[in-house]
Amino acid sequence: MSTPEPFTVAVPEAEVTDLRDRLHRTRWPGDFANDAWTYGTNEDFLRGFVEFWADGFDWRAAEAAINAFPNFRVEIDGIPIHFLHVRGRGPSPLPLVCSHGWPWTFWEFHDVIGPLSDPGAYGGDPADAFDVVVPSLPGFGWSSPLTVTGVTCQRTADLWAVLMTDVLGYERFGAQGGDWGAVVTANLGHAYADRVVGVHESLPVLLGFDYASVTEEDYAPDEAPLWQRRREAAGTITSHMAVHGTEPQTLAPALNDSPAGLASWMLGRRRAWSDCEGDLDRAYTRDFLATTLSIYWFTGTIGTSMRFYYENFRTAWAPRHDQSPAVGVPTGFAQFPRDVMPLPRAVLERHSNLERWTLMERGGHFAPSEAPDLLVADVREFFRGLR
């Protein structure tokens, strides 16, 4: 394990120019009878976004915003890890590791880092301050190049435990995450209860649980919309999971070669999984979306990010102990109404050490960027009694 070194994002100008040139030279396939995105990503929308990405987006401004945070890189067990590390401002900040998913990046958390690390500057109580650590998943963004196989969520949790304890020197810490990051977070709570004070998930993850066993009857009357959303979202997650989980390398050259293709693949998921009623511009700024796509593009990590599915789907979860529930540390679930896999509270109560369950008024799968205010408030409240 190496010593963490400060890291500055500095994409060569030739790569920025090449991205613009590729966007300008997109060969469009044509589209018809697809105003409602029935066949997938709508070409008119995508053309407008590609035009913005090429001519209206300022990568250097985005790069400066990223570099305004303390960035670091370290190698753990031969795997390069990029992370943000923002020290809290308060009497006793609690260390908190925040884990992202796909097609997220570490930048998904940029709006919550300030309020979590320096609550007093955002109208909160300094006693709620966190030392915020936001790593990029292995093979995502600047946690690259990834050249080893077998890196699953469980393996990533082991890497995060080393990062938080051995690299950064924290004896105890909390964990938060969504999407794959929620699985990583749950594994931290499962395997490292001696140092993890609690886990907070914006996507409900129960390790070793059969999600197909949950039926409509498990949802309380006021949770009926969650069941409806689960059924609605099922069709929007099958296509990419099938490809990523079986042959990610087949798709990788296409998305690594065409930024328009990368945008089409990723923005289609954003639209389907966000609380936006089909209008992505209602949920996110185009600058944010272009920044997210540019991170994947400039680091060339779409291929290894998709392999994360393959590794997880091909490797059975191996419990580290037989205690029940599998995650014994206090657990909080923030249930956003438009997320893709909502579970009823009754199921979570039976299968977790449930300390907090919050049904949010708005938001979807990308909680830190869609509803940062709601996520921050829930994280503060959950960990307040665990410090």
- What are 133's strand-pairing partners? 85, 97
Tokens read off for 291: 């920044």
- Out of 82, 110, 190, 365, which one is annotated catalytic? 365
Please compute, for residue 237, the number of CA atoms within 13 A of its CA located in the half-sphere on the CB side. Answer: 16
Is 179 one of the catalytic residues?
A: yes
Question: Which tokens hold the place of 356?
Answer: 């907090």
Q: How would you classify the pairing of strands 130-135 and 173-177?
A: unpaired
As a whole number of angstroms, the distance between CA 337 and CA 333 comes to: 12
**Do you find a cis peptide bond into 12, omega within 30 degrees of 0?**
no
User: Annotated catalytic residue: which of 179, 275, 339, 378?
Assistant: 179
The whole-angstrom separation of Cα 179 and Cα 366 is: 8
**C-alpha span between 359 and 139 (Å, rounded):** 32
* Active-site residue, 365 included: yes
Q: Which of 309, 310, 351, 378 is catalytic?
A: 309
Measured at the alpha carbon of residue 364, what is the angle toward residues 319 and 36, in degrees to the nearest 5? 125
CB-based contact 370:363 (threshold 8 Å): yes
Amino acid present at 351? H
Annotated active-site residue 321? The verdict is no
**Which residues are known catalytic residues?**
179, 309, 365
